[in-house]
Structure 1
Amino acid sequence: MELKTKHNIGIKDAMTYNVITATSSSSISDIATIMTKHDISSVVIEDQVVEGIVTSNGIISKVVSKNISPQDITADMVMEKYVSVGLDTSLIEASSTMIKNNCKVLLVIEGDVLKGILTLTDIVRVSPELIGLFIEEKNLDGLYSDDVYSNDYDEHLSEGVCEKCGVYDRLRDIDGGYLCPDCIDNESEEEMD
């Protein structure tokens, strides 16, 4: 189920444009030094074109855990396939892509040109702003006014994605399904008809 809001915030608002790269012949020792120097957890491997990505997790699982000297291994031996998105991708779509591909890094590519990188950290960095926009949107819609959540709603309200419409909102357990106030109201109206 996909989170829906009126704001379609794109990855351009969160991505890192200055991508740190290395060549496929770079040693893992050199890449680890680059990661430490720039306080990053992944380096894009790019010779003429993007070839892959080396992550700190990849270094740990493929080099350190096997007790291999990082000077003896090059990036092309450790790099992983990358997942990419285009510049017009929304943050919601990008987050969904990360979840589906079990990755924490997306390369932003237009044509064959690397435009930037979007990490889980980038998304978390803009999350407070996104949450603020979401709450503001709901307040403007009158969904967080006191009368919407009157006394007939119990104290077991939670927030999450409505199982009927897919919108993130306050939820109420209705017959084992979690629904937002709009869907509860719509069901009540349908029952009256």
Structure 2
Amino acid sequence: MSNTYKIFAYGSLISQSSLKKTVPEARNIFPAATHGLKRVFNLASTYRFDEQQQAPVCVLSAEADAADSVMNGICFEMDEISLDNLLRRESGYDFVRIQAHHYHDRKDILEAYYFRAKPAKPYRYLANSDAQRHYLRLCLSGSAEFGTSFVEDFKRSTSFWGIDCEQTLSAIWQGDY
């Protein structure tokens, strides 16, 4: 009998279509949250690439933040047999234990695993990149599956390394950057 893993996902795996491509047997999928982390666009993807700019797409990592900060995502269950596919996809990350809770009912603490970025030089969000915008839209459309407040919490708990200009941030969220 194989082990069952509960995974906390905070980036493109929030999207059911993206998740099911790698883990078709993912089950018990529900919105979740964790404390003490924030989502940051600051990591060069190991497999998403912008052909026009000849550069990796910038993807998300989860970094330490204030203990009372909340980052939303999803939890899902999978068995050990499928874990290899997920570990290959997330090869730029370490597989680490975390405590999470249901997004709507924050009482139940869940033991799960998440993908923590391996140490790397910070990488900047690609301006004017269709491939970059596609990745962000994938994350946002996945978040939208869980409601408007989930999307707003996703945005609130997400930052972009090296970008703090409100005009640029607004353009990114609108898909114009």
Asked if these proteins are the same fold (TM beyond 0.5), I'd say: no
Larger Rg: 1
Larger relative helix fraction: 1
- State the TM-score, normalizing by the size of structure 1: 0.22
Flag the structure with more relative contact order, 1 or 2, with Cα contacts below 8 A and sequence separation at least 6: 2
